[in-house]
Amino acid sequence: MSEKPKPKPKPRRTRHAATLADVGREAGVSAMAASAVLNGATTSSRISQPTRERIQEAAAKLRYRPNATARGLADRRMNTIGVATTFSANELNQYFLEVFNGVIEGAAAAGQNTTVFALTDWPECERRLPAICDGRIDGLILLSPWLSLEAGDKLPDHTPFVSVHANQLLPGVTNIESDEEAGAFEMTRQLLALGHRRILHLAGPPDSIGAQRRVAGYLAAHAAAGVPPAPGHVQYGHFTTEAGRRAFTEWLLHHQGQPMPEAIFGATDSVALVAIDLLVERGLRVPQDVSVVGFDDTLAARSAHLTTVRQPLREMGLRAVELLVQRIEAKQQDKPERVIDQVVLRTEFVKGRTLAKPRKLALLIA
Amino acid sequence: MSEKPKPKPKPRRTRHAATLADVGREAGVSAMAASAVLNGATTSSRISQPTRERIQEAAAKLRYRPNATARGLADRRMNTIGVATTFSANELNQYFLEVFNGVIEGAAAAGQNTTVFALTDWPECERRLPAICDGRIDGLILLSPWLSLEAGDKLPDHTPFVSVHANQLLPGVTNIESDEEAGAFEMTRQLLALGHRRILHLAGPPDSIGAQRRVAGYLAAHAAAGVPPAPGHVQYGHFTTEAGRRAFTEWLLHHQGQPMPEAIFGATDSVALVAIDLLVERGLRVPQDVSVVGFDDTLAARSAHLTTVRQPLREMGLRAVELLVQRIEAKQQDKPERVIDQVVLRTEFVKGRTLAKPRKLALLIA
DNA sequence: CTGAAAGCGCTAACAA
DNA sequence: TTGTTAGCGCTTTCAG
């Protein structure tokens, strides 16, 4: 071939610190040797001791820093997993914190970093997903995603996914959940066993699968005990504090003059806690006058000694990472993999201080 | 098998989806044109409408996805900020959640992603910092870092930093904090004004600047009121629930038979909340028998209606991102910048339900 | 208006 | 044991 034009040394807008090439030059070896020594590339064992040392010295002298971006580009791997969830400024999300804690821990254990994609809502997720799965992460955890099946079909296929508490099973995405119905069943069973009959369930949104399962548990426990649920005692709403406040307030308004429920079963701890607030504001005592129980066992519940159903949120986060990393590895090695549809973890009754026997005389709603 | 000369089209371990080159080929234009159209590179306006459309079509057809890693490498910018903090599995960190919420929000507003580096302790941070600042993030927020000055000197200098609640001002790192001393002062002032005299301050670690400031506020308020602090009523410990439990239990043990404090001022909400627990376990009522107040105004405190000092944690997170992004921009454009040392936000007294006048008769510690 | 070429920093494959 | 070459996918000069 023709002579190499050999252009000028190029100004090199020296952004990054020293590069492998720099180190190599300094040590009088190739960049590749430096790579082998410094970043443990495949050939690392084949470098002689003296060369090794020269390279180490040069690296130290030039304060060499590997560049993750470049490595990621070459490797097609960033060692970073993503977590996508809705994150609202007005109400802090305990649930998120608990799961996230597990994710962080699992990721650290697997040598992965974690980047968070904060969404305002799930439609936004559908839009942004392609941009999210653009090489910066190796896999993504969807945290209680609310995606349509069509959206699920359009998930980028070069990125492995795992979901936690998905509202809808997505094709090819392992979902981690807990046996919420069993949890709600057990909780309701305990309430009934104590003698409670008018148990108000402040439920989540009717189109949430989780909310449905909790309602199902509530109803099943009644059926199992041969007790018909108190009529009108399932009030749908949402999982948040504010929604809980609205739902309960409204329910009370619509039931003025009627007997106060003996127990209130919130669809989440937030709902239960705000119910306690509202009862206290009315001069009622918990649990002497009304028992209140929740669902999730988040931090606020624990510090309030709320009786609740524990979902192993941290474990769910851990598990999600584990499964995701497995899938990433498999994909990396082009290994076949059979995707597990679901992993269901157990829920557990947590005895707090907000559950007691019903009082003898019914209170009337003021 | 044997013929080889012709360097084959290269198997191209087809990892990533379609590339710009693919799109260009499909549309019969150069990759560069595709880049201009699809990713809004500098020259984007100079592409003719028809070409534009052809490229768009081709991109859609091939399901082109930009690759952030490649772009990051070329741009030397990932549009990602990092947050480094210690994260322990055994105790959930409310403080983190609050600040993080602000960070997430700020980052989203600035079009940045957020990646979390979970550390077990700050020495680990010093070790990992070089590896963290390796091109994957454009800047880093240190969340209540506890770094020595020497460590501060060794911070990689190609990455801008911002700290929140740093225990030690780091050179060239803007620190965001709140006027904790003023907050503690005001809280103590209120306690004294209500008539409290034996105020037990369950403080943080003596070597924490934040703990020191809270103690300073406590003492200053006494001085301002002309009331000598009750002797032995500052007990050092740590900011966590467990540490709070230990500290209070121990203190009570050492003061058996002496009067119970009229009020307890926890260095954090966690400490205050666990103090309430311990009091209740001893059959005491809060606030009728003992007032309990905290510091931070985290979620658990709010749901417990704890009287506390609010630190604007979310705002601090927002501000941190803002400042960091500014610095990143400045750096990108090689603009000179004068680094602000500190930003101090205001704290605020939050009236809850755990503060009342002291009871007339002193209780004795059992 | 468009394309060719070079390079961001690193790694794998192949020679030497 | 070491160096050379050729990308990873994208962007930015600089020519046409």
pLDDT in tens, B253-291: 999 999 999 999 999 999 999 999 999 999 999 999 999
pLDDT at position B58: 87
pLDDT in tens, A226-256: 999 999 999 999 999 999 999 999 999 999 9
Q: Which of B19, B105, B116 to mutate to test the interface with A (most CBs of A within 10 A)?
A: B116
pLDDT-wise least confident of A25-39, A101-115, A159-173: A25-39
Find chain A residues with C-beta within 8 A of B134's C-beta.
65-69
A230 touches strand D (CB under 7 A): no
CB B84 within 8 A of CB B142: yes
Identify the residue with better confidence: B98 or B331.
B98
Q: Do A97 and B98 touch (CB under 8 A)?
A: no
Closest-lying nucleotide for B39 based on CA to C1':
D10
Strand pairing class (A199-202; A234-235): parallel
CA distances from A299 to A113, B60, B104, B273, B354 (A): 25, 46, 21, 12, 19
Q: Which of A39, A64, A98, A116 to mutate to test the interface with B (most CBs of B within 10 A)?
A: A116
Find chain B residues with C-beta within 8 A of A66's C-beta.
131, 134
Find chain A residues with C-beta within 8 A of B278's C-beta.
none
- Whether residue B14 is predicted with pLDDT greater than 70 in this model: the reply is no
pLDDT in tens, A70-116: 888 888 889 999 999 998 777 778 899 899 999 999 999 998 999 99
pLDDT in tens, B296-352: 999 999 999 999 999 999 999 999 999 999 999 888 777 777 888 999 999 999 999
Q: Which of A69, A103, A280 to mutate to test the interface with B (most CBs of B within 10 A)?
A: A69
- Other CB atoms closer than 10 Å to residue A361's CB: what's the count? 7
User: How many Å from the CA of A47 to C1' of C16?
Assistant: 16
Q: How many angstroms separate the CA atoms of A238 and A91, rounded?
A: 13
pLDDT in tens, B173-185: 999 999 999 999 9
Alpha helices in A12-153 (DSSP H): 20-27, 31-39, 49-62, 68-75, 94-109, 122-132, 149-153
Q: Summarize the confidence of residues B68-93 as an average pLDDT.
A: 86
Q: Which of the four pLDDT bands, split at 50, 70 and 90, describes residue A4?
A: very low
Find chain A residues with C-beta within 8 A of B131's C-beta.
66
Q: Do B87 and A105 touch (CB under 8 A)?
A: yes
Closest-lying nucleotide for B46 based on CA to C1':
C1
Q: Does B351 touch chain A (CB under 8 A)?
A: no
Q: Do A114 and B118 touch (CB under 8 A)?
A: yes
DSSP B44: G
Find, in chain B, the residue whose alpha carbon is nearest to that of A281: B353
Angle between the N-to-C axes of helices A180-193 and A209-225, in degrees from 0 to 180, rounded to the nearest 10: 40
Positions of E strands within B198-254: 199-202, 234-235
pLDDT at position A231: 97
Q: From the list A115, A277, A299, which residue is nearest B115 (CB)?
A: A115
Chain D nucleotides with an atom closer than 7 Å to a protein C-beta:
1-14
pLDDT at position A42: 63
DSSP string, A263-315: EEEESSHHHHHHHHHHHHHTT--TTTT-EEE-SB--HHHHHHT-BEEE--HHH
Task: Look over chain A and give the mean of its residue pLDDT values, rounded to a whole number.
Answer: 89
Find, in chain B, the residue whose alpha carbon is nearest to that of A115: B115
Say which amino acid occupies B211.
Answer: A
Q: Do A130 and B65 touch (CB under 8 A)?
A: yes
Q: Does B22 touch chain A (CB under 8 A)?
A: no
Q: From the list B113, B270, B305, which residue is nearest A115 (CB)?
A: B113
Q: How many angstroms separate the CA atoms of B72 and B80, rounded?
A: 10
Tokens of A127: 């839009």
Closest-lying nucleotide for B36 based on CA to C1':
D11
pLDDT at position B74: 86
CB A294 within 8 A of CB A308: yes
Q: Which of the four pLDDT bands, split at 50, 70 and 90, describes residue B10?
A: very low
Most confident of A15-19, B7-11, B220-224: B220-224
* Surface-to-core class of residue A281, CB atoms within 10 Å of its CB (0-12 exposed, 13-18 middle, 19+ buried): exposed
Most confident of A154-158, B40-44, B213-217: B213-217
Q: Which of the four pLDDT bands, split at 50, 70 and 90, describes residue B7?
A: very low
Residue length, chain A? 366
Min Cα distance B355 → chain A (Å) is 17
Identify the residue with better confidence: B335 or A190.
A190
- Other CB atoms closer than 10 Å to residue B336's CB: what's the count? 6
Q: Strands of B234-235's sheet, edge to edge?
A: B234-235, B199-202, B263-266, B291-293
Q: Which of the four pLDDT bands, split at 50, 70 and 90, describes residue B24?
A: confident
pLDDT at position B94: 87
pLDDT at position A3: 36
Q: What 3-state DSSP class applies to B48?
A: coil
Chain C nucleotides with an atom closer than 7 Å to a protein C-beta:
1-15
Min Cα distance B313 → chain A (Å) is 12
Q: Do A108 and B114 touch (CB under 8 A)?
A: no
- Whether residue B36 is predicted with pLDDT greater than 70 in this model: the reply is yes
Say which amino acid occupies B24.
Answer: G
- Whether residue B17 is predicted with pLDDT greater than 90 in this model: the reply is no
Cβ-based contacts under 8 A for chains A and B: 141
Q: How many angstroms separate the CA atoms of B290 and B67, rounded?
A: 60
Q: Do B114 and A116 touch (CB under 8 A)?
A: yes
Q: Which of the four pLDDT bands, split at 50, 70 and 90, describes residue B59?
A: confident
Find chain B residues with C-beta within 8 A of A155's C-beta.
none
User: How many Å from the CA of A5 to C1' of D2?
Assistant: 27
Q: Does B134 touch chain A (CB under 8 A)?
A: yes
Tokens of B232: 């032995």
Identify the residue with better confidence: A123 or B18.
A123
pLDDT in tens, A312-343: 999 999 999 999 999 998 887 777 778 889 99
**pLDDT > 70 in chain B, percent:** 94
- Whether residue A5 is predicted with pLDDT greater than 60 in this model: the reply is no
Find chain A residues with C-beta within 8 A of B304's C-beta.
300, 303-304
Identify the residue with better confidence: A196 or A55.
A196
Residue A334, C-beta contacts closer than 8 angstroms, at least 6 positions apart: none
CB B198 within 8 A of CB B261: yes
pLDDT at position A8: 37
> Any long-range contacts for A190-196 (C-beta under 8 Å, 24+ apart)?
A190/A349, A190/A355, A191/A263, A191/A265, A191/A291, A191/A293, A191/A355, A192/A221, A192/A222, A192/A225, A192/A227, A193/A225, A194/A291, A194/A355, A194/A356, A194/A357, A194/A358, A195/A262, A195/A357, A195/A358, A196/A262, A196/A263, A196/A291, A196/A358
pLDDT in tens, B198-229: 999 999 999 999 999 999 999 999 999 999 99
Q: Do B65 and A133 touch (CB under 8 A)?
A: yes
Q: Which residue is nearest to nucleotide D4 (CA to C1')?
A: A30
Q: How many angstroms separate the CA atoms of B263 and B193, rounded?
A: 12
Find chain B residues with C-beta within 8 A of A69's C-beta.
69, 72-73, 78, 134-136
Q: From the list B72, B80, B277, which residue is nearest A115 (CB)?
A: B80
Closest-lying nucleotide for B134 based on CA to C1':
C9
Find chain A residues with C-beta within 8 A of B73's C-beta.
67, 69-70, 73
Min Cα distance A3 → chain B (Å) is 21
Q: What are phi and psi of A278, to 5 degrees?
A: -65, -40
Q: How many angstroms separate the CA atoms of A182 and A185, rounded?
A: 5
**pLDDT > 90 in chain A, percent:** 63
Q: Does A73 touch chain B (CB under 8 A)?
A: yes
- Whether residue A13 is predicted with pLDDT greater than 70 in this model: the reply is no
Q: Which of the four pLDDT bands, split at 50, 70 and 90, describes residue A25?
A: confident
Q: Which of B303, B305, B334, B354 to mutate to test the interface with A (most CBs of A within 10 A)?
A: B303
CB A272 within 8 A of CB A296: no
Q: Does A351 touch chain B (CB under 8 A)?
A: no
Q: How many angstroms separate the CA atoms of B149 and B71, rounded?
A: 35
Q: How many angstroms separate the CA atoms of A104 and A110, rounded?
A: 10
User: Within a 13 Å sphere around the CA of A156, how many CA atoms are in the beta-carbon half?
Assistant: 28
Q: Which residue is nearest to nucleotide C2 (CA to C1')?
A: B33
Q: Does B76 touch chain A (CB under 8 A)?
A: yes
CA distances from A335 to A326, A338, A339, A342 (A): 11, 10, 12, 21
Min Cα distance B214 → chain A (Å) is 23
A228 touches strand D (CB under 7 A): no
CB B209 within 8 A of CB B179: no
pLDDT in tens, B108-157: 999 899 999 988 899 998 888 888 888 889 999 999 999 988 888 888 88
Q: How many angstroms separate the CA atoms of B74 and B67, rounded?
A: 11
Q: Does A72 touch chain B (CB under 8 A)?
A: yes
pLDDT at position B16: 58
- Whether residue B47 is predicted with pLDDT greater than 90 in this model: the reply is no
